[in-house]
Structure 1
């Protein structure tokens, strides 16, 4: 698991980012879930994640169990409590299953902690070194919106399957992968009038820069609206759009999320693929459900986005959306919520040069979400 960072291209892509906190990438995303064993089976079977590591009673941990799964550069940690009481139980009771940790891979976890704390971050975990026969990992952490936390992971001196405290998990069952490559961006939903506060947090505390902003004229339908700003670190590997509700005639998806999650949290994880048609076909065949896009969307889409490499018919059959910016175009599709509560979902994205986030699709996407909200009785 140790990685030589000397050959990584960490060129600055976002010139306005102060970038005093070099981030090499997303290390892992940890979800607190009611049943980690069954959730792990879902992400293996439906999504093609591969088993990596395990921690629990067999490894000397008494209060929780964690399964680590990976597909290319995307690493998920699924954690459940083993006893009554405690913070994980409380978190699940309050929020349902959801993202607790967005872990960031860094070269120096102590420096990352010190730099963010002195700029105003609230401490979640002071720097600590954990060791086993495979080497050492240094961890530290800070709070962000809601109960979400960032843990800084320094693993340059570690060669084990994940980190100390975990053992290799190598079950007989391994589902084929579905072509997912890396996390493109992760979206946070925050409460009314909190977007600017958290964008300022990422700018001031973590040295991020604002890439783009959308207001309620950009992201609205007849009924609902939201505001969004996209924050990015210097090398462009970490992108965090931050959404807040905006006034509309009915309850927006952001308000629905906050009502059911009971506060701010991670709304969706956008995962990249090099072939969205094959990836979505594989996911659908395994039971992953996507939002419905009306066929009329495709009547005029090429007039808006121009020529694309793909045949339109398979995109239409799968409901894949298309958008273009000055740099190229992108293909994207959104799942229905993957949890019982209408909170977290996934986006599948393939970039063909585009660096934007599908602004031209917002209206179609929102209308699709509103159809789902109507069925749930929450619009």
Structure 2
């Protein structure tokens, strides 16, 4: 199906928007009236610009407050829209979006509305165009698509069709199922927008908080599946009003938009298949390889120089990691503890070296264990993520990889039976430090990244599209110097969890991380253990400095959860944080001091099926870290 986006969804000039739309892979575009009004050229110039880029102008919008008016006002409205028809002819488009009236004096009389929309349809017929009538969620009289369809159907003209917008339907909790019963050829246009679930005025919600598919909370696949069932074969077009998008780089936003439509098509195709249905041949939907059924952390990789490698290596040694191997052809070392693997890359004139020059000691890559690395790579590349190829020595493994939104790498690794493992093929393995002895870490529990405020939704979309991860609910975390927004993504079975933190405030921990890294950076890595008290005690004895938690926290903890004094004493003695969920699951965790003033290492123990991240303790942890920074 044709993929389109409204120019209002992007920042920049009209010329910049059109170029970004084409570069992102769209083949259609909606021209928003203000973009045309502010353009220093004629509508015919816009038509030529779009044609040169291979873009169809699929809609001109919006036209407001046509119907439900007095006879005198109708005459004025008719003159006004005929002028817009002339603009449409110059633009080379045959569709105009007509929004249901929001005027306070709109006349609530369906008979009158049908008559006046009939006048609109006749004017459109004479002009050789189609008016797409849309029910705004805040319309004065018409606010649901079912009502709009009743009026359009009564007019019964091929020059008046129904416009559907997922936001206007789903923001009102209006079931989209009735869309399937509308003849597809009577649906003149379909606009798509996601949004977070918010309790607020629907107009403000629409004007500021729309997002691309996959970035919000709406069940868009259900909506789009019903559109496909109707037989509609026209464009699917993004119309996103979002304050962040209006300030974000045009090309990056357009690329995210195109990926989000591909993602929605994939979800829609899967939804139809689940329901025993399939799109017609005239309704082709994007069909990438399925996301990996099983995903796990293979290793995380730090960009280092000699000094940073020594610093991190010392920390890892105190946490009972063993130096497990050295790379066969590169200045790369492998540390392991239980199932947790850490790679330190100090290779000169490499990707990691360039990453270190830009960001300093930082997380430059993550490797994910999947069933089939090539298939996982093909899925990510199909969504437009840039592939990466580095130098590979003789008999070393080629790891398919793509670049994440911050330019770091995401590797895909699979292991075939009866063949050397990645570590056996690429490293000279050694046991010079001996095996892990005390308080074993069982693996990496999660990774937490600090992001620029306008990058959070991009990262959510990245993990959903490339990996098929699920996004958890977002929450606000109080920092001593502002607020942080946090949202996590995870694999279906929770084997991989990645927490994403962002903040618009200039002095929060996230903001300071962004300054240190000159961009996105690692906030902390969390390692799992089955006995956190024993593990933390052993690590502390070996010189690992843990973040000190105020005594007042433990007094409050005892009051909140009625914990035994003995447990409170144990938590306090080891500076352990504690959380409990509504099902009785428990989460015990401790943070180290910052490594090189950049990131911390967290030890966690999950009990009784606890599935969160200890969000209730984020404020005290951030306050303790802020105090240490003073």
TM range (shorter): 0.7 to 0.9
Partners in 2 of 1:161 and 1:21 — Cα distance? 19
Is the CA contact 2:333–2:345 (under 8 Å) kept in the aligned structure 1?
A: yes
Partner secondary structure for residue 445 of structure 2: strand
Which of 388, 397, 401 does residue 124 from structure 1 map onto? 388
Q: 2:69 matched to which residue of 1?
A: none
| Residues 1:181 and 1:260: Cα distance change in structure 2 (over 3 Å) | same
| Residues 1:308 and 1:214: Cα distance change in structure 2 (over 3 Å) | farther
Which of 469, 492, 511 does residue 208 from structure 1 map onto? 469
2:279 maps to 1:24: no
Q: 2:180 matched to which residue of 1?
A: none
Partner secondary structure for residue 458 of structure 2: helix
Q: 1:192 matched to which residue of 2?
A: 453
Partners in 1 of 2:331 and 2:339 — Cα distance? 23
2:366 maps to 1:102: yes
Partners in 2 of 1:286 and 1:47 — Cα distance? 8
Count of residue pairs the alignment pairs up: 340
Partners in 2 of 1:204 and 1:91 — Cα distance? 25
2:346 maps to 1:80: yes
Which deviations, in whole Å up to 9, do the C-alpha atoms of 1:76-122 show, x marking residues without a partner?
111213x5x55433322322212111100012111000011112322
2:595 maps to 1:329: no
- After superposition, residues 272-291 of structure 1 pair within 5 angstroms as 272-291=528-547
Q: 2:500 matched to which residue of 1?
A: 242
| Residues 1:87 and 1:359: Cα distance change in structure 2 (over 3 Å) | closer
Choose between structure 1 and 2: higher strand proportion. 1
Partners in 1 of 2:359 and 2:411 — Cα distance? 20
- After superposition, residues 154-169 of structure 1 pair within 5 angstroms as 154-157=414-417, 158-160=419-421, 162-169=423-430
Partners in 1 of 2:384 and 2:362 — Cα distance? 26
Partner secondary structure for residue 311 of structure 1: helix
TM-fit CA distance, 1:204: 2.4
Give unpaired runs (5+ residues) of structure 2: 1-218, 220-262, 268-289
2:610 maps to 1:338: no
Choose between structure 1 and 2: higher helix proportion. 2
Q: 2:15 matched to which residue of 1?
A: none
TM-fit CA distance, 1:182: 0.9
2:425 maps to 1:141: no
Which deviations, in whole Å up to 9, do the C-alpha atoms of 1:325-365 show, x marking residues without a partner?
123110111111112xx222111111112111112112211
Q: 1:46 matched to which residue of 2?
A: 318
| Residues 1:172 and 1:240: Cα distance change in structure 2 (over 3 Å) | closer
TM-fit CA distance, 1:221: 4.1
TM (normalized to structure 2)? 0.50
Is the CA contact 1:305–1:322 (under 8 Å) kept in the aligned structure 2?
A: no
| Residues 1:188 and 1:221: Cα distance change in structure 2 (over 3 Å) | closer
| Residues 1:246 and 1:324: Cα distance change in structure 2 (over 3 Å) | farther
Which of 399, 406, 410 does residue 150 from structure 1 map onto? 410
2:603 maps to 1:348: yes
Partners in 1 of 2:309 and 2:603 — Cα distance? 25
Q: 1:229 matched to which residue of 2?
A: 487
Is the CA contact 1:145–1:190 (under 8 Å) kept in the aligned structure 2?
A: no
| Residues 1:148 and 1:39: Cα distance change in structure 2 (over 3 Å) | same
| Residues 1:358 and 1:253: Cα distance change in structure 2 (over 3 Å) | same
Is the CA contact 1:73–1:182 (under 8 Å) kept in the aligned structure 2?
A: yes
| Residues 1:205 and 1:168: Cα distance change in structure 2 (over 3 Å) | closer
Is the CA contact 1:71–1:177 (under 8 Å) kept in the aligned structure 2?
A: no
Partners in 1 of 2:528 and 2:310 — Cα distance? 25
Partner secondary structure for residue 444 of structure 2: strand
